[in-house]
Amino acid sequence: MRRKNLHRQILYTLEDLHFPKAEVAAKRLEKLNPLLKAEAITENLNPKNAEQLLKGTDCVVDGLDNMSTRYAIKPSMCEAENSVHFWGSHRTGRKPLRLSSTRNPCLECIMPNLSDTELQTCNTRGVLGATPGIIGAMQALETIKVITGAGIPLKGKLMVCDFNDMSFATIDISKRANCPTCKGEAAPDASKEKLVWLCGTRTANVNPEKVLKLDFDKIYEKTKQHFKVQIRSRLAIIFSYRDLEVSLFNGGRMLIKNVTNEKAALEAYREILQILEIKQ
């Protein structure tokens, strides 16, 4: 959790800085509603683990900030209504989209082959703090409608919201002929997926080649011996390495701050694994 997120992510406070968002969100939601059980997972969703992580869900509600991860989510991965909600935002506008079942279009039907390297991000374009709040409430309502069967949900629809002039447009969408996802064709080789990429300002996300099963108590003791530990939570250890701030998650993933490029991040990642005697 970073300070600059607080203006638009109201689940968090200054006391939550540096803690894993998923962990803090789960605790906060369970405090708000004692009848709710939230499971925090700090893994990156990707083509390798998407089906396993989403198995058994009734509805997938995405709050992602990139297209590559959205493409990893398929309507066939969730049960019941086979419903997936995609929501994206920038500045003062958002585009909510609900896809469901094989009879309706998938994300790649209407937005094929989009590369994150060619798209603007929240870092470059920004997002007004109130925008996620407005859309988040709409997103929650739409999800309740889907789960309970109440009302008429946005099934096979694209809604475009422009809060500059408070205009809303809802567009019918249809399946694209020869869409590889709808035809069930194999996805690109997931083994070629990038393990490291820059996310945000001077921050890199580094994934292990496969999820690691770490004894977090032992790793914590070793980390204290070699590094200055800032925070220890149930799912992450945050510590300093040289001039870097490192968040090590329980599956072996790291967020490394103050790096200038992906190569430097990967080198630091490997050095830390070697010091902590963690084998991939």
Tens of pLDDT along the chain (280 residues) come to 677 777 778 888 888 888 888 999 999 999 999 999 999 988 888 888 888 888 888 888 888 777 778 888 876 555 444 466 666 655 555 555 555 545 677 788 888 887 767 666 655 666 788 888 888 888 888 888 888 889 988 887 888 888 888 998 888 888 888 888 777 765 554 445 667 877 767 889 998 888 888 899 999 999 999 999 999 999 999 999 999 999 999 889 999 999 989 999 999 999 999 999 998 7
Q: Are residues 188 and 218 in the same domain?
A: no
Half-sphere exposure of 259 (CA within 13 A, CB side): 26
Indicate whether 51 and 159 sit together in one domain. yes
22, 77: one domain? no
CATH classification at residue 201: 3.30.310
Domain with residue 149: its CATH number is 3.40.50.720
Q: Is residue 143 part of a domain?
A: yes
The whole model's pTM is what? 0.74
Q: What angle do CA 220, 223, 226 make, to 5 degrees?
A: 155
Residues 19 and 109 in one domain: no
Same domain, 216 and 81: no
Instruction: Let me know whether 94 and 182 are in one domain.
Output: yes
The pLDDT value given to residue 45 = 83
Provide the residue range defining the domain that includes 224.
196-275
Question: Which pLDDT tens digit goes with each residue over 141-164?
Answer: 888 888 888 998 888 788 888 888
Establish if 139 belongs to a structural domain.
yes
Q: Are residues 183 and 220 in the same domain?
A: no
What's residue 182's pLDDT? 77
pLDDT of residue 226: 96
What whole-number distance in Å separates Cα of residue 252 and Cα of residue 263?
18
Residues 6 or more apart whose Cβ sits within 8 Å of residue 37: 30
157 secondary structure, DSSP code: E
Q: Which one of 135, 163, 192 terminates a domain?
A: 192
Instruction: Please give the pLDDT value at position 84.
Output: 65
Pairing type for strands 203-206 and 228-232 reads unpaired
Q: Tell whether 280 is covered by a domain.
A: no
Q: CA dist 165 to 92, 133, 162, 168, 170, Å?
A: 10, 17, 6, 9, 16
Residues 91 and 26 in one domain: no
Residue 179: per-residue pLDDT: 84
> In this structure, are 202 and 188 located in the same domain?
no
**pLDDT tens per residue, range 71-104:** 888 765 554 444 666 666 555 555 555 555 456 7
53/170 same-domain check:
yes
Q: How many CB atoms lie within 10 A of CB 6?
A: 16
Same domain for 233 and 213 = yes
- Count the domains in the chain: 3
In a domain, 258, yes or no: yes
Give the residue carrying structure tokens 């198995």. 55
Residue 114 shares a structural domain with residue 67: yes
